[in-house]
Amino acid sequence: MKLAQSIAINYYKTKITTLALISPRKAAEYAFKIFCTPYSGKPVRPEPTSFLEAEKISFQFEGLTLRGWHWQPKEPNGKKILINHGFDSFSYRFEKYIHPMLKAGFEVFAYDAPGHGISDGKTINALFYSQSMLEFNKIFGPLYGIMAHSIGGLAASLAAEHLPSLEKLVLIAPAVETTTAIKGFIKFLGLGNDMKQALTDYIVDFSKQPISYFATSTAVQKFHIPTLWLHDTEDAICTFEDVKPVQALNLPHIEFYITTGLGHSKIYREGKTVKTIINFLKK
């Protein structure tokens, strides 16, 4: 662990612990803010060639300007695809999908999530992200398909039941269980079970939803959209252990693509993965 990271962790732990002595709710609120804040910030990044070729788009959501890109195929098939990135990520990382999708005739969109890339904001959570997808669909849709990674996958699964036009959903290493993410976050900061419960209660209170709502495993049971779920058995971020119970459900609309050795992020950069996703969207 780098020294700067160690200092930051100790600072957050001390502040949360101190706040908890005064107000457990205030401590949970502060912990949630950290939980939802991308740790890399929003550095200026060089724009990939395919993004330079795109039409720049933007839309307003909850007082924020969310910025993105729009590509038109030479031979359109009349279907629109949205690409959504994961936590502490950005749209540029999915450059290798743009031309294959265009070649297949899809009209392609991508935008940086709140608090990420070139969009406004400082924080993100799955509910806020999913609501931004619904707003995007109102303006630029109707969407035929969504391809989303990590928290983007969870957000897309939450949005899916509210998108009647959606015919294809691609979930790449989605955040399966928010309870697992909370547990990992609390362990990372060296906090105890009391704070884990306080954070969970805070999320339930502000969202007006049970914590089980924020789970891809729950969301995919609410719709019948053909879904391709890609996951690696060695994913250290969104553990494969959380995927196994979903597999056991044998839901007829879900097709699993399981890899080993690619982890949480290499899986979407793998050439075979790209081909598998394009073929799924085309069929």
Task: Check residue 194 and give its pLDDT.
Answer: 94
Q: What is the pLDDT of residue 62?
A: 97
Q: What is the pLDDT of residue 57?
A: 98
Final residue belonging to a domain, choices 157, 190, 214? 214
DSSP assignment of 180-228: HHHHHHHHHHT--HHHHHHHHHHHHHHHTS-GGGSBHHHHTTS----EE
Verify that 72 and 158 share a domain, yes or no: yes
Distance CA 157, CA 161 (A): 8
Summarize the confidence of residues 30-48 as an average pLDDT: 92
Beta strand ranges found along the chain (DSSP E): 55-61, 64-71, 80-84, 107-111, 145-149, 168-172, 227-232, 254-259
The reply to whether 102 and 191 lie within a common domain is no
Same domain, 208 and 166: no
- Residue 90 — very low, low, confident or very high, per pLDDT cuts 50/70/90? very high
Residue 142: asked if its preceding bond is cis (omega within 30°), the reply is yes
Neighbouring CB atoms inside 10 A of 252's CB total 8
The string of pLDDT tens digits covering residues 184-229 is 999 999 999 999 999 999 999 999 999 999 999 999 999 999 999 9
User: In terms of pTM, does the model score above 0.85?
Assistant: yes
Q: Could you tell me the residue range of the domain that residue 204 belongs to? A: 1-35+178-214
Contacts with 30 (C-beta within 8 Å, 6 or more apart), sequence order: 15, 16, 19
The verdict on 132 and 263 lying in the same domain is: yes
Q: Do 31 and 135 belong together in one domain?
A: no
Residues found in the chain: 283
Q: Given this model, what pLDDT does residue 4 score? A: 57
